[in-house]
């Protein structure tokens, strides 16, 4: 029902949305900033939340200027609490034993694959360093 309603509203409002997108960029940006400030204040009615939003906005701007991707940070912020809750639950079930994560073959394989994916760039850079070092000493 919700998808159907969204489709109908989207079709009916498409002309208005196109006109909004053709507005000057300064007006669109100002509108987005006002909505962000209002939304961050409306959640708990604390001005501190607005300052936190502005702080992370500047961090996002720094990421943009340094060409650092935003997706990993967003994934970390979204999935971090879920990971923490389930890690705590697993440790409670296993009575504090960390071996629960390597007892089953599937979880052990996943941990090994995660380790390889995380270490791959370091291994490649180390391999390139060794190759360049050999080439340097061969020239001497």
Distance between CA atoms of residues 115 and 117, nearest Å = 6
The model's pTM: 0.51
The pLDDT of residue 55:
94
Would you place residue 135 in the very low, low, confident or very high pLDDT band (cuts 50, 70, 90)?
A: confident
pLDDT of residue 41: 94
What is the mean pLDDT of the segment spanning 71-83?
A: 89
Q: Where along the chain do its domains lie?
A: 22-70, 95-140
* Arithmetic mean of pLDDT over the chain: 90
Alpha helices for 1-140 (secondary structure H):
2-21, 25-44, 47-65, 71-93, 105-139
Q: Give the CA dihedral 42, 44, 50, 53, nearest 10 degrees.
A: -100
> Which pLDDT value is given to residue 83?
92
Q: What is the per-residue pLDDT for 51? A: 95
Say what the pLDDT of residue 104 is.
86
Distance, in Å, from the CA atom of 9 to the CA atom of 21, rounded to the nearest integer, reads 17
| pLDDT mean over 121-127 | 90
pLDDT at 131 over 90: no
pLDDT at 77: 86
pLDDT at 137: 78
Residue 17: pLDDT above 90? Answer: no
């Amino acid at each position: 029902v919700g998808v159907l309603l969204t489709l109908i509203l989207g079709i009916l409002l498409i002309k208005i949305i196109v006109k909004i997108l053709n507005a000057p960029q300064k007006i669109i940006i100002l509108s987005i900033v006002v909505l962000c400030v209002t939304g961050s204040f409306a959640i708990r009615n604390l001005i501190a939340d607005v300052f936190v939003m502005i702080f992370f906005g500047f961090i996002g701007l720094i990421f943009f200027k340094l060409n650092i991707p935003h997706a990993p940070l967003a994934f970390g912020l979204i999935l971090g609490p879920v990971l923490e809750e389930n890690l705590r639950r697993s440790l409670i079930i296993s009575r504090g034993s960390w071996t629960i994560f390597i007892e089953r073959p599937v979880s052990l394989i996943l941990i090994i694959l995660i380790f390889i994916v995380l270490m791959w760039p370091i291994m490649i850079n180390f391999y390139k360093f060794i190759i360049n070092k050999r080439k340097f000493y061969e020239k001497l």
